[in-house]
Each structure stands twice: as C-alpha cells, then as structure tokens.
Amino acid sequence: MIPAIPGNLYEGMAEMGLNIMCVPEEAGGLGLDSVTQTFIAEQMGRYEVGLESAVGTNASATHLINRMADDKQKEIFYGALTDGGWAAFALTEADSGSDASSISTTVEADGDELIINGSKYFITNGGIASVYVVMATADRALGRKGIGCYLVERKREGVKIGKEEDILK
C-alpha cells in the first residue's frame, strides 16, 4: 500500500498557507495569481509530487468554488480552509473511473436540502478534507449537462469516509 501523507505535513503546509493560496485575500486567503500558484506547484512537484498533488487538488476545488459558488457557499468553504482545513474534489467512482458523463452518484431536492446518494473512490485529500466538491447528476436524461458540483462539508450527516485501499494491486 502507498503510505498516506502524514497529518503533520498537511498541518505544516497549511501553516505556510498552501491550502489558502487560491482563497481571495478579502476572505482570509493569500489570493495568489495563477502564475504564482503554478510556480509553487512546479517547485513542489520537483521534490515531492504527492504533496503537490494534495495542494493541487485543494487548489482545483478552490477554483471551482471561486467561480461557481454563491456567497454563503464561499463563506463555508473559505472558512474551512482558513481554519487550517483542506478540500477534496470527488469525481472518481469505482465503476466509471473519472468519466464524469458515466457517474452514478445522484442528487435530488428534499425540501430546502439536497440529498446526494452514491460513493466516490480514490479522492486525493479525501481522508483529511474538511470540505468536498462532489460531482453528482441531477437528471440522467440530460447526460453530462445534468451533472453539477456540490459543496459538502465533512461534518454533514450521512458523510462516510471509507477505508484506505491499495489501488495499485
């Protein structure tokens, strides 16, 4: 099994601000531009691609929130990161891989709440994330146009974190 990144490395990276480099300054982040973020990723990747992958996944999720979330969602997401947390992007499923058009995870409205049913697999930062950007389909008849991104807090009822698996068997 590939060893997990030790928690103290995540803590150290958060202390350096690597988990908030894409969060706008007005929300408590570093607000770094894309060129600076890319330079940091390149330098990290030269020495430890696993750590860069953790930071890059966090950045990808943050970029989605920056572009697509409403103010309330941004407040939740940014707050989790500025408190030292990390984000994960949950697309991959055991049966469909990373083919977004084939995902089986669904989302449906239940009053003022959204219910997401399904499971994700191989989520970078999944075991330590405070918040997840989850891909789910609202309407299968629309194909990939029925798929959306949903912000899910780890502490929400119904969120379950599975065991680590050796995916390189």
- CATH fold of 7-153 reads Butyryl-CoA Dehydrogenase, subunit A; domain 2 (2.40.110)
Distances (CA, A) of 44 to 17, 27, 40, 50, 53: 14, 25, 6, 9, 9
Portion of the chain with pLDDT greater than 90, in percent:
66
Task: Please say if the pLDDT value at position 19 is more than 60.
Answer: yes
Give me the residue spans of the domains in the chain. Answer: 7-153
What Rg do the C-alpha atoms of the chain give, in angstroms? Answer: 16
Quickly state the pLDDT bin for 10 (edges 50, 70, 90). Answer: confident
Task: Please say if the pLDDT value at position 3 is more than 60.
Answer: no
pTM of this structure? 0.87
Q: What pLDDT does residue 120 have?
A: 92
Q: What pLDDT does residue 144 have?
A: 84
Residue located via tokens 């982040």: 29
Quickly state the pLDDT bin for 87 (edges 50, 70, 90). Answer: very high
